[in-house]
């Protein structure tokens, strides 16, 4: 037996979950009047109270009437800011983001309207989801119409039964109508079964003892069983593991679900495949009652979340690895706000470079602009970033927290869209001091050589002149130009040149004169 309200609630929950909606409403056309028959949310709650659209304050009435007039689907990525319905009181009040409103047809006749929204994200209702919804609504229209027909016929049959004694002359007509009802019911059940079989979810029914009575084709394929291998057996004999890989014993949970299915509308856990594989499933559970109010079956709809969980675990490992590298790096790593230089993030090494004991002492409190010895260095740094989007090996003199001056080497890139700079910093004070000492030593050595009255040549290991110092000013710069680049064999006779070259190579080898 198909109950229209139960069918509507199940259909809406499936649509909301598959479409990524936060809330939704189903509006049906009855006697030329649009009536709200269901308002549901992603938390599996459905309000099945029926009232006219004009009296409903929880949907954008102007959007509903527009779809009724045009018979066209409306989809907005951000309804409050970019749609022509942004002035609708409901949209203004709710600040509606993603919005979808779709007509439902049966044989080219409008029978209802589906409304979905998501106020948490923009661009939820993609073209792929729209195509799936259109296909689902085509099937759902037939199912809804048949279910409504069955309910109408069932009500009519009940009326006929009450009047059978006084309307015996209409007995043949009643029999014919019953036959029509049964045919419609069979067709409706066939359509419903087809919907279950083609759903991209595992659908399974079992009794309070856990014995499986039904599983759809998708479930058979995913779990690897033949239908005859699973029907009639219990959950514990087939898809429920003794212990999950995490060590959790799921049997007590499943036993409690069988006793109190109403307490477990949703659940998540590992399930066993026939070949021993384990898949993670998210289940939605619904108790089915008999006329006495007893639970006779439990309907569970499951979706495979194995890949999603694996991706989440991989992301967590990646984030942990990055955080370890970030915290333990021997170079300073930082992120600053482009507009004012506020430090948004930094590792321990970066904090130490600037004289802080921990990153927490500076993150969100200190500005990079306060630590440049020459403000023009930061300005030039920013100009290079804005021009090239990245800067490599930029040197600047900085000031520590206590005022100590030191030299740093920056490499950074600009994220202009989000307005921040990310980069690395290294202390090169020792290198700068060594360079200064080397320059001073070279200047001192050159001054010493210049004081020697005789000319002086500097050779490499191959006997080529790499520098020439005139000594006596009378030799002039022409002396250097004449000698630099020439070899011993160009300056001296071969015997003397060979002797000098052997001597030079001996000095290079022994490091002794």
**How is the chain split into domains, by residue range?**
4-197, 200-310, 329-431, 452-510
Question: What is the reported pLDDT for 436?
Answer: 82
**Cβ neighbours of residue 418 closer than 8 Å, sequence gap 6 or more:** none
Phi, psi of 471 (to 5 degrees): 75, -95
Question: What is the reported pLDDT for 512?
Answer: 74
Question: What is the reported pLDDT for 411?
Answer: 92
Tell how far CA 78 is from the center of its chain: 19
In whole angstroms, what is the distance from residue 285 CA to residue 354 CA?
58
Q: What is the 3-state secondary structure (H, E, C) of 337-386?
A: ECCCCEEEEECHHHHHHCCCCCHHHCCCCCEHHHHECCHHHHHHHHHHHH
pLDDT per residue over 300-315, tens digit each?
A: 998 888 888 878 878 7
Question: What is the reported pLDDT for 207?
Answer: 93
**Structure tokens, 229:** 């291998």
Question: What is the reported pLDDT for 78?
Answer: 92
**Structure tokens, 231:** 């029907």
Angle at alpha carbon of residue 511, lines to 510 and 513, rounded to 5°? 95
CB count in 10 Å sphere of residue 121: 12
Question: What is the reported pLDDT for 86?
Answer: 87
Beta bridge mates, 234? 211
State the burial class of residue 26 (Cβ atoms within 10 Å of its Cβ: 0-12, 13-18, 19+).
buried
**Cβ neighbours of residue 495 closer than 8 Å, sequence gap 6 or more:** none
Pairing label, strands 23-30, 98-106: unpaired
Question: What is the reported pLDDT for 322?
Answer: 67
Question: What is the reported pLDDT for 458?
Answer: 81
Q: Does domain 200-310 have CATH number 3.30.450.20?
A: yes
Question: What is the reported pLDDT for 306?
Answer: 83
Q: How confident is the prediction along the chain (513 residues), in pLDDT tens digits per residue?
A: 457 788 888 888 989 998 899 999 999 988 889 999 999 998 888 999 998 998 898 999 999 999 999 999 999 999 988 778 988 999 999 999 999 999 999 888 899 999 999 999 999 999 889 998 888 888 888 877 777 777 777 667 677 667 756 666 666 677 667 767 666 666 655 545 555 555 578 999 999 999 999 999 888 898 989 988 999 999 999 988 988 888 888 888 889 989 998 888 888 888 999 998 999 888 989 999 998 989 999 999 988 888 888 788 787 887 777 677 766 777 889 999 999 999 999 988 899 999 999 999 988 888 888 899 999 999 999 999 999 999 998 999 999 999 999 999 989 999 999 999 999 998 988 888 888 888 887 777 666 666 666 667 788 888 888 877 766 665 556 667 777 888 888 888 888 888 888 888 888 888 776
Question: What is the reported pLDDT for 158?
Answer: 72
Q: Give the 3-state secondary structure of residue 247.
A: coil
CB 308 within 8 A of CB 282: no
Across 351-504, where does the E strand assignment appear? Answer: 390-399, 405-415, 420-427, 456-459, 465-469
Q: Please tell me the CATH superfamily of domain 329-431, with its number.
A: PAS domain (3.30.450.20)
Q: Give the 3-state secondary structure of residue 461.
A: coil
Angle between helices 127-162 and 171-198 (to 10 degrees): 160
- Equal CATH topology for 4-197 and 200-310: yes
With the CA atoms of 54, 56, 57 and 63 taken in that order, what torsion angle do they form, in degrees rounded to the nearest 10? -60
Question: What is the reported pLDDT for 63?
Answer: 94
In whole angstroms, what is the distance from residue 271 CA to residue 205 CA?
16
According to CATH, the topology of domain 4-197 is Beta-Lactamase (3.30.450)
Tell me 276's DSSP state: S
What is the enclosing helix (H) or strand (E) of 279? Answer: strand 278-289
Beta bridge mates, 238? none
Question: What is the reported pLDDT for 72?
Answer: 94
**Cβ neighbours of residue 444 closer than 8 Å, sequence gap 6 or more:** none
Which among 347, 430, 422 is positioned nearest to 385, based on CA atoms? 422
In whole angstroms, what is the distance from residue 159 CA to residue 177 CA?
12
Range list of H helices, 99-170: 127-162
CB 47 within 8 A of CB 24: no
């Amino acid at each position: 037996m198909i109950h229209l309200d139960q069918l509507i609630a199940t259909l809406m929950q499936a649509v909301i979950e598959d479409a990524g909606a936060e809330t939704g409403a189903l509006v049906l056309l009855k006697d030329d009047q649009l009536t709200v028959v269901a308002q549901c949310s992603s938390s599996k709650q459905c309000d099945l109270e029926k009232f006219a659209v004009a009296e409903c304050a929880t949907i954008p009435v102007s959007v509903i009437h527009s779809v009724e007039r045009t018979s066209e689907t409306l989809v907005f990525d951000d309804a409050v800011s970019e749609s022509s319905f942004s002035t609708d009181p409901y949209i203004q009040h709710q600040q509606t983001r993603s919005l979808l409103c779709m007509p439902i047809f049966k044989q080219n006749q409008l029978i209802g309207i589906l409304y979905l929204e998501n106020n948490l994200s923009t661009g939820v209702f993609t073209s792929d989801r729209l195509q799936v919804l259109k296909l689902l609504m085509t099937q759902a229209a037939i199912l809804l119409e048949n279910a409504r027909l069955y309910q109408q016929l069932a009500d009519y049959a009940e009326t006929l039964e009450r009047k059978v004694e006084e309307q015996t002359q209409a007995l043949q007509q009643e029999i014919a109508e019953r036959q029509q009802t049964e045919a419609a019911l069979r067709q409706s059940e066939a359509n419903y079964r087809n919907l279950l079989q083609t759903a991209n979810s595992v659908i399974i029914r079992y009794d309070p003892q856990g014995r499986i009575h039904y599983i759809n084709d998708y479930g058979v394929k995913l779990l690897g069983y033949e239908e005859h291998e699973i029907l009639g057996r219990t959950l514990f004999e087939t898809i429920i593991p003794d212990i999950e890989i995490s060590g959790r014993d799921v049997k007590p949970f499943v036993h409690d679900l069988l006793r109190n299915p109403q307490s477990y509308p949703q659940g998540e856990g590992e399930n066993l495949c026939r070949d021993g594989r384990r898949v993670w499933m998210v289940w939605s559970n619904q108790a089915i009652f008999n006329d006495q109010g007893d639970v006779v079956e439990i309907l569970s709809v499951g979706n495979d979340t194995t890949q999603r969980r694996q991706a989440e675990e991989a992301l967590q490992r990646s984030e942990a690895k990055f955080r370890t590298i970030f915290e333990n790096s021997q170079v300073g790593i930082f992120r600053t706000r482009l507009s004012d230089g506020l430090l948004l993030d930094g590792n321990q090494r970066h904090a130490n470079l600037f004289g802080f004991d921990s990153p927490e002492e500076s993150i969100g409190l200190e500005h990079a602009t306060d630590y440049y010895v020459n403000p023009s260095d930061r300005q030039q740094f920013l100009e290079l970033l804005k021009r090239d989007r990245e800067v490599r090996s930029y040197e600047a003199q900085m000031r520590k927290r206590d005022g100590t001056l030191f030299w740093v080497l920056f490499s950074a890139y600009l994220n202009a869209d989000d307005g921040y700079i990310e980069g690395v910093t290294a202390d090169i004070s020792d290198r700068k001091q060594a360079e200064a000492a080397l320059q001073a030593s070279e200047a001192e050595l050159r001054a010493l050589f210049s004081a020697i009255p005789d000319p002086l040549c500097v050779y490499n290991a191959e006997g080529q002149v790499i520098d020439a110092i005139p000594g006596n000013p009378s030799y002039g710069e022409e002396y250097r130009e004449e000698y630099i680049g020439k070899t011993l064999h160009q300056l001296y006779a071969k015997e003397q040149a060979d002797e000098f070259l052997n001597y030079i190579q001996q000095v290079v080898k022994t490091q002794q004169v």
